[in-house]
Amino acid sequence: ERSLLGLKGLDRSEITAILDRASYWDKQTEKLNPVLASKFVSNMFFENSTRTRFSFEMAEKRLGAQVLNFAAAASSVEKGESIYDTVRTLESMGIDAGVVRLKPTGVLQQLSEKVSIPLINAGDGNNEHPTQALLDMFTMIKTFGEIKGLTVSIIGDIMHSRVARSNLWGLTEMGAKVQFCAPDNMKAPELAEHAPYVTMDEALKADVVMMLRVQLERHAGGMIKSAEDYRTHFGLTEERAARLGSGTVIMHPAPVNRNVEIDDAVVESAKSLIFPQMSNGVPVRMAVIERAIR
């Protein structure tokens, strides 16, 4: 039984094992492979989600697991029940693993120390989103063959981004060069020792240009002058996309703010892997769920 709380500290062999197993699941032609038929998994989302929530459910169901979906808005959390009491409640009922998304940072580690079932981080605050970075790395491997030697530019709201952090830890461990590009008020100073901040023009000269969503819901307000101003300085506009090298690919964890951090016409352009990333989330999460409880 193995939790997955983050990629920080996970070594290359463990990441490779997950990605290899994801590749195995990706190649299966049968949609249903019920190796987890006697297992019960609960998806506990204390924060909204579309991709992560449904691709975990898809992954669990493709492995034949019994799935219990928990949405905070329709639960006793609304009456004030804590995250800990909620997870303990589901554990008491007999679930074998929990997939958890929550807003606060640091709570998941404490939770995992108090419960005996494996927990999988589906995104915690601005800390980590390990399965997103794993599916991003899986997408890069499918595109380039390997991660070692790639230059990956992560552009946008680094400060608030758990995706940037998980990708930084995972990609660095796998031998890629990571660089950031962000407005001054969206930089994460504590990450500067791990990856350089470069200009937008420099950031476009990379194998992977990974755009981040401007997380309007996490901003106290006033962090961007306007959507148009952000687009002008840090958006992947059609004009900037046209200047990318022939082998460069575009990624974004989604949801996207079209015409803010990425132009509408670029989202589904030939260089974009945004929807393939979503497809790749399923086999990657199959590998992570299987690793946790099989």
Q: Which residues form the interface with ligand CP (CB under 6 A)?
A: 49-53, 123, 132, 253-255
Q: Which residue is nearest to ligand CP (CB)?
A: 52
Closest distance to ligand CP from the beta carbon of 165 (Å): 13
Q: Is 205 labelled as part of a ligand binding site?
A: no
Residue 11 main-chain phi, psi, to 5 deg = -85, 170
Count CA atoms within 13 Å of residue 63 on its CB side.
31
Residues forming a β-bridge with 154: 180, 210
92 CB-contact burial (10 Å; exposed 0-12 / middle 13-18 / buried 19+): exposed
Q: Is 72 labelled as part of a ligand binding site?
A: no
Helix, strand, coil proportions of the chain in percent (round to 5)? 45, 15, 40
Specify the residue, 18 or 212, whose C-beta has the smaller distance to ligand CP: 212
Copy the structure tokens of residue 110: 């404490």
Closest distance to ligand CP from the beta carbon of 19 (Å): 18
Q: Is 129 labelled as part of a ligand binding site?
A: yes
Closest distance to ligand CP from the beta carbon of 18 (Å): 17
Residue 259 main-chain phi, psi, to 5 deg = 70, 15
Specify the residue, 53 or 285, whose C-beta has the smaller distance to ligand CP: 53
Specify the residue, 183 or 253, whose C-beta has the smaller distance to ligand CP: 253
Specify the residue, 51 or 142, whose C-beta has the smaller distance to ligand CP: 51
Q: Is 255 labelled as part of a ligand binding site?
A: yes
Q: Is 53 labelled as part of a ligand binding site?
A: no
Closest distance to ligand CP from the beta carbon of 123 (Å): 6
Specify the residue, 24 or 275, whose C-beta has the smaller distance to ligand CP: 275
Specify the residue, 34 or 104, whose C-beta has the smaller distance to ligand CP: 104
Q: Is 132 labelled as part of a ligand binding site?
A: yes
Closest distance to ligand CP from the beta carbon of 120 (Å): 13
Closest distance to ligand CP from the beta carbon of 34 (Å): 25
Give the C-alpha separation, 266 to 61, whole Å.
33
45-80 core/surface letters (b: 16 or more CB in 10 A; e: else): bbbebeebbebbbbbbbbbebebbbbebeeeebeee
Q: Is 162 labelled as part of a ligand binding site?
A: yes
Give the C-alpha separation, 25 to 98, whole Å.
21
Give the C-alpha separation, 123 to 225, whole Å.
28
Annotated binding site: 51-52, 79, 101, 129, 132, 162, 213, 254-255
Annotated binding site for carbamoyl phosphate: 51-52, 101, 129, 132, 254-255
Annotated binding site for L-aspartate: 79, 162, 213
